[in-house]
A and B are shown apart, each in its own frame.
Chain A
Amino acid sequence: GTRIVYERAFLMQLRNSPIAR
């Protein structure tokens, strides 16, 4: 199947999501 690929910039954005804090 398709691999789940994330760019660095997108991962950095999620750093500040409520659950990640």
Chain B
Amino acid sequence: SLAPIDVPAWEHKLQYAYCLWFSRRSPGKQASLQNYDQNLKLIGRFASVEQFWALYSHLVRPSDLQSHSDFHLFKIGIKPMWEDEANQRGGKLILRLRKGLASRCWENLVLAMLGEQFMVGEEICGAVVSIRYQEDIISVWNKTASDSSTTARIRDTFRRVLNLPPNTVLEYKTHNDSLK
């Protein structure tokens, strides 16, 4: 329902336009679908590299956020919820991080996503960084959980752009399983 994003000729256009969302919930409170939706706040939108940096440079780094906060960076038109049409048949690749690493890993992931480094066509929906009490979680969401060659490619790129040691565990979870 929002107007298209204008990209002046001198800016570097991205392959996709994105929305950045923020959410925070009170620890201990059960997250129902309704309050998850209500807690999602749209921070901004961008369609060029310059517009991304203008927004990003004003934000608190993920590691400095309070516990139970999330940044959600999704392609425009895709809401960061399992129920969204683009996510329904999808899943997410999950990396659990010890405290203190989230900001750097998140930035590397975001730059790879915006720069189209995953090379999986339309498959990427977005990415989430979740700040929790004892650990932080970074995930990449894709459209088709059943497409194993794509999920393998996402996993390889994820490992490479975050410089993860080869023994790092990367869990894949379908949204369908999460909904149950």
Binding site for B on A (CB under 8 A): 3-8, 10-12, 14-15, 17, 19-21
Verify A20–B114 contact, CB threshold 8 A: no
Verify B50–A6 contact, CB threshold 8 A: no
Q: How many residues of B contact A (CB 8 A)?
A: 20
Known contacts A3-B15, A4-B14, A6-B49: A11-B54 contact under CB 8 Å: no
Verify A11–B49 contact, CB threshold 8 A: yes
Complex Cα–Cα for A20 and B57 (A): 8
Verify A7–B115 contact, CB threshold 8 A: yes
Verify B57–A6 contact, CB threshold 8 A: no
Verify A19–B14 contact, CB threshold 8 A: no
What's the A-B contact tally at a CB cutoff of 8 Å? 53
Verify B54–A8 contact, CB threshold 8 A: no
Verify A6–B53 contact, CB threshold 8 A: no
Verify A11–B57 contact, CB threshold 8 A: no
Verify B53–A8 contact, CB threshold 8 A: no
Binding site for A on B (CB under 8 A): 11-15, 49-54, 57, 108, 111-112, 114-117, 161
Verify A5–B115 contact, CB threshold 8 A: yes
Contact of B116 among A5, A12, A14, A19 (CB under 8 A): A5
Complex Cα–Cα for A9 and B108 (A): 11
Residues of B within 8 A of A19 (CB): 11, 50-51, 54
Complex Cα–Cα for A9 and B53 (A): 14
Known contacts A14-B49, A20-B54: A8-B116 contact under CB 8 Å: no
Contact of B50 among A3, A5, A20 (CB under 8 A): A20
Residues of A within 8 A of B117 (CB): 5, 7-8
